Chain A
Amino acid sequence: MTSLTTFYLSGLIGNEAFGMDGDAIGVIKDLLIKSLPTEQDDSSRQLVNGIKLKTGKEIRCYSFSTFRVVKAREKLNVTCTGLLGLSVNEINNGLFLVENVLDKQIVDLNGRKLVRVNDVRLVTVSQGTFAIAVDIGIEGLLRRIGISRPIKQFLSLFKISIPAKFILWEDVQAIDYSNLNIKLSKSYAKLQTLHPSDLADILEDMGKKSSMSVFSALDEEKAADVLEELETHAQIHIVESLPVTKVADVFEKMPADEVADILDELEDEKAEILLNEMDNESSQEVRELLEYSDNSVGSLMTTDFLSFKPEITVDEIIKELREKRPEPDELYNMFVTESNDELIGTFNLRDLVLAQPGVTVNQIMKTEPVFLFDDQKLDDIAEIISKYNLLAVPVVDSSNQLHGMVVVDDVVEDLINKRRTRKR
C-alpha cells in the first residue's frame, strides 16, 4: 500500500474512534510516543505506539498498533481492529503528545531556542503512524482556535498567505517530562549536542522545575561548562536547588575563578558546606581566590595555567601538552618559572611551533615579561592587555611568584558588566 495520510494532532483529538463493526468505541484524548529513540529508529520521526481513549467515563491507554488513520474528504477516520492493552512500562517510558508536548515549550535544536508548540504534524504510512514535526507558527495557532480557514480565505483575496513554521522532529527536544519516572539523562540526550552558551540561554528562559531537571540530566563536564555560562541569579538558583554532592562534583570540573565568583554570591555557610564537599585540591585553589578583594586582579585571575622549568626542551613541552590536553585558554600564554615559582619568562604557541624540537624553552621565551600584581586594581588590566596585544597576562605576588593569569575573555566580560552597572 502506498497510501500516505498527513494530519494534525489537533484534528484528531476529540474525534471518535470506530471499531470493526462501525460502532464508536471511544473519544481520542491523547497519543503516546516513545520518549527514548532507540538506535534503529529513524531520528526524523517517532512512532506513535499508544492511544488514550475515553469510553463512557473511563479513560484508558491502548496500543496504537491496531489503529489506523484514514483521511476521507478532508475528514479523519480512525478505525480499530481490536483493543490491545499497554504495559505500565510502555506508558511510563512514553511521551504524551497532548499532555507533554502540545502548548508546552520545547527546545528547537536547530534554532537553539525555546519555542511553544501550537500543533503536532503526524503521518500515517504502511509502517505505522509517526510524529514528524511540530508546528510553532501563527497558522497552527489559528487552526487550534478554529479560525484558520476563514482567515486564510479572507487573506487570499489580498494574495497574502500565512507562513507555516515547522520544526522537524529530529530538531525537537521535549522538556516536560514532569509525570514520568524515566531516566532523564537519556531523554535529554539531544541537548548534549548544543553549545554550552546556547544551552545556558535556553535554561534561563525555562521555568524553574524544567531548568533543574534538564541541568541535572547533563553530564558533569557539560554541566560545568553550562553553569559557567549562566547568569548569576540562574547560577545561584541551580547551586541552591541541587544536592550538595552534585554541585561539588560540577564545581571540581570548573575553573577555580568561576567557582569563586559563584561562591561569593552565596551565603557564607552554604559556601563553606560546598567547599568542604569538594576535593582538597580544588577547594584549596578556590579558597585562595576568595581571599582577594572584589576589585583586585586576584579576583579575576584563573589558577589554571601552564608553567615550565627553563631547561626543558620544546619537544618535551609539546609531548606534555599532548598528554595533558589543556583547555584553549591555557594555551594563550605559557610561563617559565624557577623552582621557587618565580616568573622569569613567557612564550606562546607560535614560539613553540616555530622553534626546533631540541631547543630549551629559556632560549625561546620572552624575558622581562609583562605582568600584573595580584593586589593591583582591576581597571589596570584592560589597558595593559590592549597596549601589549595580549590574550593572557601572568599574575604575580610582591615576591614575583606566579599565582595565576588573567585571560582576555574574563576581562571583556568584566568590562561589559561594568558598563551595564554604570548605565544603571
Chain B
Amino acid sequence: MLNTKDKRRHFFKRLALFLAILGPGIITGSVDNDAGGITTYSVAGAIYGYGLIWTLIPSFIVLLIIQEMNARMGIVTGKGLSDLIRENAGVKITFFIFVGLLLSNIGNTTTEFAGVAGSMEIFGVTKYVSVPVVAFLVWILVVKGTYQVAERIFLIFSASLLTYVVSALMSKPEWGEIGSAIIRPRVEMNTQSLAMVIALVGTTIAPWMQFYMQASVIEKGLKMKNYKFTLVDIVIGCFVTIVVAFFIMVACGATLFPNGVQINEARDAALALKPLAGRLASQVFAFGLFIASVFSATILPLATSFYVCEAFGFEAGIDKKWEDAKEFYTLYTGILLVSAIIILIPKAPLIAISIWSQVLNGILLPVVLISMMLLVNNKRIMGAYVNRPVQNFIGWSAVCILIALSAALLIMPAFNR
C-alpha cells in the first residue's frame, strides 16, 4: 500500500521523468515554424483570408503519424534514420537523398537568414549588422556550447513563438467566420490556390525533420517503456506547430485580407500590420519571426551536417572535439557561412532560392517517406514494433497524398507558362 507521502513522491518522480523526456517532439515542432513557414502562412492568410485554415487539420494528422514513426524507429533501433537508410537502401539512394538535402537545406538556411534580416529591419537594424552577428552567435552556441544548453535555450525559444497568438488577438479576428471556414472547407480548383495548399502542407512536413526527430530521440536515450510520455511530447509538438500556424493565418487573414494587401515575404506581413493593427502588433509579429529564424538557423545546418556525416560514416556530434569530427564541423560552418553570405549579397535572387529549395524538398519528401515506411515495416529492424495496419493505412495514404501534391507542385509551373 502506498501512503500519501509515497504517492506524492511517485507523482513527482513521474513528473520529473516526463520533463526529462520532453523535448524532441516540441523542438522539432517549433523548428517547423521557421521563417519559410511563417512566410507561407502569412501569404496564405493575406490572399485567402480564413479560407485555407482547414488545411491545418490534415497536416496535423500526417505530421503526427510521421513523427510517431520516427520516434518509434529511434527508440527501438537506437540508430539514426540516415544510418538505417544507408544500411538498407544502399549507397546510391543515400547519396541522392543527402546531396539533395544538403542543397535544399542551404536554401532553407538562407531563408532563415532572410527572416533574421527582414525582422531586424523592422526594428531599424540593417542586415549587414544583424546577419553576421546572428550567424556568429549561432555558430558559437553550437561549437562551444553543449547540446543540453542549446536544447534548453531552444525550449524557451519555443515558448516565444506564442507571440503570434498575441499578434492575432490584437488584430481582432471574427471567430465565427473562422469557425465556419474550418467546418466547411472550400477548395478553389485553380492552380494558384492548389499551389498554396501544397506549399502549406509542404512547409509543415519537411524531409529534414524526420532525420532530426529520430536523432534527438536517440540523443535523449528514450526507452519503449516510457513511450506514452514520448507520445505526449510528439502530440504537444505537433499541436504547437499547428496552433502557431493557425494564429499567423488568423492575424494576416483578419487584417491584410479584407484590405486586399498583397505580400511576398513574412517581413511584408509585419510591415503591413503596422497601419492596420498598430505598431505594437507589427513589432510583436517581427519579434516572433526573428526568434523563429534564429532558432531554425541554428538547428537546420546542425541537423544537416549531422545526418550527412552519419550516412557517410564520418564522426559527428557537438560533443566531439573539432579535430575528431572535422568533416562535421566543416560542413556545419560551411552551410552557415554560405547561407549568411548569400543574404548579404545585394540583390541576391532570394525568391528563386526559396522556390528551388521547396522544389528539392518536394522531390525528396516522397523518397524519404517511402524509405521510412519500408524501414518501419521491416521485422528484422523493428521486431515487435512494426507498424500496425491502422498506422500503415494512414501512413501510406499520407505518402500517396504527399507524392501527388509534390508531383502537382512540380508539374504545375509547366502549365502556368
Binding site for B on A (CB under 8 A): 103-105, 113, 115-118, 136, 138, 141, 144-145, 178, 206-209, 211, 233-234, 236-237, 240, 420, 423-424
Contact = CB atoms under 8 A, between A and B. Distances in A.
Interface string B62-97: 000000000000001111000100110011100100
A136 B313 contact: yes
Nearest to B89: A103
Contacts of A233: 221
A104 B88 CA distance: 9
B178 to A, nearest CB: 40
Contact of B148 (A105, A118, A237, A420): A420
A2 to B, nearest CB: 35
A237 B76 CA distance: 11
A211 B77 CA distance: 10
Given A103-B90, A113-B315, A208-B76, 15 more contacts: A103-B86, A103-B91, A104-B87, A105-B313, A116-B86, A138-B312, A145-B95, A207-B79, A208-B77, A236-B223, A237-B78, A237-B221, A423-B146, A424-B148, A424-B149
B139 to A, nearest CB: 18
Contact of B78 (A103, A178, A208): A208
Contact of B83 (A141, A207, A240, A423): A207
Interface in B198-224: 221, 223
Contacts of A138: 312
B380 interface: yes
Which of A207, A236, A420 has its CB near the most chain B CB atoms (within 10 A)? A207
A103 B312 CA distance: 9
A237 B223 contact: yes
Interface in B126-170: 146, 148-149, 152
A244 to B, nearest CB: 16
Nearest to B314: A116
Contact of A115 (B76, B95, B313, B380): B313
B313 A118 contact: yes
B95 to A, nearest CB: 5
Contacts of B91: 103, 118, 141, 144-145
Contacts of B221: 233-234, 236-237
Given A136-B313, A420-B148, A423-B146, A211 B87 contact: no
Contacts of A115: 313
Contacts of A206: 78
A175 to B, nearest CB: 12
29 contacts: A103-B87, A103-B91, A104-B87, A105-B83, A105-B313, A113-B315, A115-B313, A116-B86, A116-B312, A116-B313, A136-B313, A138-B312, A141-B91, A141-B312, A144-B92, A178-B380, A206-B78, A209-B78, A233-B221, A234-B221, A236-B221, A236-B223, A237-B223, A240-B223, A240-B225, A423-B148, A424-B148, A424-B149, A424-B152
Nearest to A10: B91
Contacts of B380: 178
A209 to B, nearest CB: 7
Interface of B: 76-79, 83, 86-87, 90-92, 95, 146, 148-149, 152, 221, 223, 225, 312-313, 315, 380
A407 B35 CA distance: 52
A116 B152 CA distance: 32
A130 B148 CA distance: 47
A144 B86 CA distance: 13
A270 to B, nearest CB: 10
A115 B149 CA distance: 28
A276 B87 CA distance: 41
A166 B380 CA distance: 30
Contacts of A117: 313
Contacts of B79: 207-208
A224 B76 CA distance: 25
Nearest to B84: A207
* A-B pairs, 3 with minimum CB distance: A116-B313, A233-B221, A208-B78
A234 B223 CA distance: 11
A282 to B, nearest CB: 26
A104 B84 CA distance: 10
Contacts of A211: 78
A95 B293 CA distance: 49
Contacts of B95: 141, 145
A236 B92 CA distance: 37
B6 to A, nearest CB: 11
Nearest to B78: A208
Instruction: Report which residue of A145, A211, A236 has the largest number of chain B beta carbons within 10 angstroms of its beta carbon.
Output: A145
Q: Indicate the member of B76, B91, B95, B152 with the most A CB atoms within 10 Å.
A: B91
A384 B90 CA distance: 57
Contacts of B87: 103-104
Contact of A209 (B77, B225, B315): B77
Contacts of A207: 77-79, 83
B78 A145 contact: no
Contacts of A144: 91-92
A423 B149 contact: yes
A231 to B, nearest CB: 8
Contacts of B90: 103
A96 B148 CA distance: 40
Contacts of A424: 148-149, 152
A417 to B, nearest CB: 12
A232 to B, nearest CB: 8
Nearest to B86: A103
Contacts of A145: 91-92, 95
Contacts of B92: 144-145
Nearest to A98: B90
Nearest to B219: A233
Contacts of B315: 113
Contacts of A104: 87
B84 to A, nearest CB: 9
A424 B148 CA distance: 6
Contacts of B77: 207-209
A248 B51 CA distance: 63
A423 B225 CA distance: 29
Contacts of B148: 420, 423-424
B78 to A, nearest CB: 4
A412 B223 CA distance: 29
Contacts of B78: 206-209, 211, 237
Contacts of A113: 315
Nearest to B383: A209
A313 to B, nearest CB: 51
Most buried by A among B86, B146, B149, B221: B221
A141 to B, nearest CB: 6
Contacts of B223: 236-237, 240
Contacts of A423: 146, 148-149
A117 B86 CA distance: 11
A237 B90 CA distance: 29
Most chain-A Cβ atoms within 10 A of its Cβ — which of B95, B149, B223, B313?
B313
A236 B224 CA distance: 13
A143 to B, nearest CB: 10
A113 B320 CA distance: 13
